[in-house]
Amino acid sequence: MSRALPKYNKRRVVIAGGAAAVVLSGAVIVGNAMAGEGKSAETKAASPGTVSCPAVAPSLPAIPASAQAEVDRNLALLETQIAEADQRLVDTVGQGGPNFAQNAIIGPLKDKRVATIERIALSIGRTAAKPTGLESLAACTLSTAGGGEQAPNDPATTPPAAGEGNGAGDNGEAGNAGGGGANTGAAGTVNCPAVAPSLPTIPASAQDEINRNLALLDTQIAEADQRLVDTVGQGGPNFVQNAILGPLKDKRVATINRMATAIGRTAAKPELPVDSLATCSLNG
């Protein structure tokens, strides 16, 4: 009995020491939690990051008075688009895979900026030399330390991307208006209205440009079909619409508008049903 007693006492010491360690570690955890409190909301808010885009306004030449209002509208639209992209980053935290933000937010934002910047250049070019090289300002990045335009006065995004879409026969302008491109049944395929049948007589001076844009429309459909294959299983229920069909429509709007502009240089500019021609759906 007396020999077993030291072991018993030893066990009590070990248990007591363990309890003290638990109490101490609990105090450390509580202390750390209290120290971190106040930062948590800020960290959580910053975690989605923000969109950072090159400023457009500083790269513009002198703006003719006749174009000033349109340029200002498009610059404001660029800023609105950046704000919308920032909000989407917040709203979709945790959605999709590692490339979700790039595929569903940053990529579509670039497409919209391309179209907006092109519109700015076109509006200036109506009464002055059309500025070139501005398309390099369309690409944005994801930043964890700020966002918006990287220079004052430059809005951040807007409508349709400058020119790709449904070309020499969306899904085959030459006959399969609204086919689908090369895709798998599991992923589905893109179905777009044919544009060529809606065009008026094309002046000879515009024929090459029209052909290029029609071919570009088909290329864009093929690219969208490939993206459907590459991203099977990614994102939530709206992933395909947000990351593939939406950006495709933006590109088609820009392409169709370019064709109308090309025809309008030497003939009456056609009033095309751009929205309906640009909107694509998913087969399968």
Closest CA to 109 of 153, 59, 54, 187: 54
Answer whether 260's CB lies under 8 Å from 270's CB: yes
Position 216 scores a pLDDT of 93
Closest CA to 273 of 219, 202, 197, 209: 197
Position 44 scores a pLDDT of 36
179-233 pLDDT tens trace? 333 333 367 899 999 999 999 999 999 999 999 999 999 999 999 998 888 888 8
223-261 pLDDT tens trace? 999 888 888 888 777 888 988 999 999 999 999 999 999
Per-residue model confidence as pLDDT tens for the chain (284 residues): 444 444 444 444 443 444 444 333 444 443 444 444 343 333 333 467 889 999 999 999 999 999 999 999 999 999 999 998 888 888 888 787 778 888 888 988 998 899 999 999 998 999 999 999 898 999 999 886 545 555 433 333 333 333 333 333 444 443 333 333 333 336 789 999 999 999 999 999 999 999 999 999 999 999 999 888 888 888 777 888 988 999 999 999 999 999 999 999 999 999 999 999 999 999 86
Position 63 scores a pLDDT of 93
